[in-house]
Amino acid sequence: MSAPLAVVATLSAVTMGVLAADPATSDNTELLAASSNSQSFSRASAVSRRGDATASRSQIRTAAKAESAARKDLEVDRLARRMAKKTDDTIWTTEALNLWDGPSEKAEKMGLVDALEQVRVTGRRQAGRTQIVVDGQSRWVTSDYLAQEKPKPEPKEPAGPSLGGSCSNGSTIDAGHAALYDIHDVVCANWPEITSYGTWRGDGEHGEGRAIDIMTSGATGWAVADFLRANYSALGIEYIIYSQKIWSVERAGEGWRGMSDRGSTTANHYDHVHVTVY
C-alpha cells in the first residue's frame, strides 16, 4: 500500500474513533484518546517515511478538518445534553417537525420528529427555533409548533352515509323491483330513525312496483334525497322528488328543478322523499 493511502486510512480511523466515542467520557479519558491519536499519527508518519511517497499536506489538512468538525459536533451535543438535564424541561410537538442542525436559515435538515412527541429542551431559542435533544443529539425545531401540555388529537368527523351497512330498526318493505329493496336497506342503515316506507299503491309507478316513498321531512329529507341523487347509478334510480322539487337522470345537468303546487304537503312531497327506479 502506498504511503498516502496509509495516512488517510489511519486518519479516517482516528475520526471514526472520535465519532464512536461515548459522549459522556471524562476529561481524563479524552486526554488519553488524544494521546492515543497522537501515537497513531506518529506511526502513520513513520510508515509514510518508509514508503515511496509522502502524504500531501492537503490530505492531512482534510483529515484534520474532519476530525475537528467531529469533535465540535460531539461537544455541541454534550453541552445540549447538560443544558437539558439542568433545566429538566420537556415540551410537546403539535405537528410533525423538521429537525435542523442549527437555528439559522442555512441549517441542514437532519430528519423529522413526529407530532404529539415529548422532547427535552435546553432552554435556547433563536431565530424562531428551539433547541431540543433527540437521541442524545442537539437539534432545532420551529418554536411555533411546540406546546407545554400534550395536545388533544383532533376529533374525527363522524362518517357520512355510505352504501354499506344493514337495516337494524326492524322496518321492511314489499316491492316489485329489487332496486327498491336496496334503497330501503341503505336508507335504513344510514337513517335508522326513519321507519315508515310506502311502496305498492294503485296508481302510476307505485302500481308498477317501481316506486318508494321514504317518510321523512326537513333537513333529514334533504340529506336522504341528496345521498340518493349522488348514488343514483348504483341504486338504479330514474328520478327523485322532494320538497316540491324534482331531479331526474334525463335532465341531471339542471340539478333540482321546481315543480308546480299540487295543493297539499303530501302532494308537494314535503313529508316524504319519492324515488322511482327503472
Which pLDDT does position 12 carry in this prediction? 42
Which pLDDT does position 71 carry in this prediction? 83
d(Cα 219, Cα 43) in Å, to the nearest integer? Answer: 87
Residue 212 exposed, middle or buried by CB count within 10 Å (0-12, 13-18, 19+): buried
Q: Say what the pTM is.
A: 0.48
Q: Which of 97, 86, 94 is nearest to 122 (CA)?
A: 86
Which pLDDT does position 54 carry in this prediction? 59
Residue 187 exposed, middle or buried by CB count within 10 Å (0-12, 13-18, 19+): buried
* Structural domains present in the chain: 3-79 (no CATH), 88-147 (2.30.30.40), 178-277 (no CATH)
d(Cα 178, Cα 194) in Å, to the nearest integer? Answer: 20
Which pLDDT does position 112 carry in this prediction? 94
d(Cα 278, Cα 179) in Å, to the nearest integer? Answer: 9
pLDDT along the chain (278 residues), means of 10: 38 40 40 40 46 69 82 84 84 94 92 93 93 92 94 76 91 96 97 97 93 98 98 97 98 96 97 98
d(Cα 109, Cα 102) in Å, to the nearest integer? Answer: 9
Which pLDDT does position 164 carry in this prediction? 84
Which pLDDT does position 99 carry in this prediction? 96
